[in-house]
Structure 1
Amino acid sequence: MSSQIMDVYMQTPPMARTLATAIFVTSIFAHFGVLPYAWLYFTEDRLFHLPPEIWRLVTSFLLSSPQFGIILDPYFVYTYVSHLETSNPKFPRKEDALWYLITVGGIIITVNRLFLGNAFFLQGLTMALCYTATQDQRGAKAGFLFFTVPAQLMPYCMLLYSLLMNPMAIPLQLSGLFAAHLHDFLTRIWPEFGGGPNLLSTPAFVSKLVTTPRFLQREYGTAIRPQSSNQPSGGARGASTGSVLPDSWKTRGSGHRLG
């Protein structure tokens, strides 16, 4: 039984499952007192200690809200990242989705440290992921609480919910929305409509991070992976299966993005 669960787990999109698992485990340890919060939050001066505490660039995105947030936050992150990783047309390669996470995360950190003073950023990242994942689902419908809304309005529904339930989270969420808008402008709107270059194109070193080695070590020998120019990318292979929306919503039509 456990091996079957592990098999299903390993078949999920790797970036989505890694990030969601890291959020869940880190939040469990932190909220139950096993892991001190002081080890996780981001502050600039810690980056210049010896040794530099560079892990805070990552751990500051891994703390969920308490109680139900321990389950819901990893779920939403997994849902949106798996869509970006497998079926979003903006990210035809896995390295493009990884570079999106890096650049959007950097924008969120910069905005919060310059203007807002927040030290944890998961809710901002979730808002950015929600915006990017749903903007290409125009024409589809999504359920939010007891209402059905156009999919592209989901980020604004989240803001409305925070206004009623947790107004203190709104500035952080707005920073994530700004980061997603800025990324979309620099990578899509400016090149397509402004005639300029893609200012956030994926660098080569990110591609090397996610490239599967040609030589695969096995217990019974070495397998050589043949190189084929016809092999589809990770995004293309998952395009028919991954989606941020349930199948029942897709009957409303895929919609078209205008500008």
Structure 2
Amino acid sequence: MSDLMDGFWRLPPVARTLSAVVFVTSVGVYTQLIPGHLLGMHSSLIFTFPPQIWRIFSNFLITRPQLGMLFDTYFVYTYTRSLELDNPRFSKREDLVWYFIFVCSAITALCTYLFRGGFLLSTLIVALCRTATQDQRGMKAQVFFLTIPAQLMPFAMLLMTLVLEGPGRFLQELCALPVAHLYDFLTRIYPSFTGGRNLLPTPAFLSRIVNTTREIRRSYGTLIRPPAAPSSGQTTGASTGSGPLPESWRSRGPGRRLGD
């Protein structure tokens, strides 16, 4: 048991936390330990008094029943882990948290307007898949016995939904594509092609809340962030403390490597 928990705590923090909450909440709802009617998105209940604001995000915590609890949890973990570890756009944890806030809010608004809400985790999974696979061109993905380009994976998921669950769920999940593309346009496409700034920057308060650690484990190694620069003192590399070098050497600036 201790080995299992040690393995769990070694997983990427955002991916492990989100997938664990999704799985535990879904088990609680399907075993009737948690009243599911309190978690679904219903626009009429958002504007009641007191407003049930939590429904904007709690509707993303319920998987589909039976095997859906395993598959949906697996997809949530897999694509969140891909963004957290392998995508340079989310080098800081607060960037990934901000992505979830924006995408979940946009999906909730769009699906509530078109379909009056419901449980939208499967739509979020398609959005995660689309964002994660946009930077995987040239890579391959496996769908049952078929091998397809990785960037086509969200469309394969939509096709399976259409075949297995019908047009209603398919149209709901289709809302994930414009939301994922909107995030990509605001944060990458517009700044890249116009030379402008990111139109959806991560709010500064998230950095203070999330408190990003200096050490980040990635699939290709461990990234250690340098400590923050001091607010006062020398910025040229000179040190005011004692050391093995003569004083005249320690006051000559930051120094240069051979060949610079």
Shorter-chain TM band? 0.7 to 0.9
Give the corresponding residue for 1:142: 141
Q: Taking structure 2 as the reference length, what is the TM-score of the superposition?
A: 0.80
Q: Deviations over 1:178-236 (max 9, x none)?
A: 111110011100110133321111010111121158xxxxxxxxxxxxxxxxx56x3xx
Q: Contact 1:87/1:241 (CA < 8 Å) preserved in 2?
A: no
Q: Contact 1:24/1:74 (CA < 8 Å) preserved in 2?
A: yes
**1:187 equivalent in alignment to 2:187:** yes
CA distance in 2 between counterparts of 1:80 and 1:146 reads 20
CA distance in 2 between counterparts of 1:21 and 1:41 reads 19
What are the equivalent positions in structure 2 for 1:71-150 lying under 5 Å apart? 71-150=70-149
CA distance in 2 between counterparts of 1:36 and 1:103 reads 27
The number of residues matched between the two structures is: 221
Q: Contact 2:40/2:117 (CA < 8 Å) preserved in 1?
A: no
Alpha-carbon shift at residue 239 of structure 1 (Å): 5.0
What amino acid sits opposite 2:218 in the alignment? G
Q: Contact 1:118/1:172 (CA < 8 Å) preserved in 2?
A: no
Alpha-carbon shift at residue 52 of structure 1 (Å): 3.1
Q: Residue 218 of structure 2: which of 238, 249, 256 is its match?
A: 238
How many percent identity over aligned positions? Answer: 45
What are the equivalent positions in structure 2 for 1:140-219 lying under 5 Å apart? 140-167=139-166, 168-211=168-211
Give the corresponding residue for 2:229: none
Structure with more contact order per residue of length (Cα contacts < 8 Å, sep ≥ 6): 1
Q: Taking structure 1 as the reference length, what is the TM-score of the superposition?
A: 0.80
CA distance in 2 between counterparts of 1:164 and 1:82 reads 28
Structure 2 segments unaligned to the other structure (5+ residues): 223-260
Give 1 or 2 for the bigger CA radius of gyration: 2
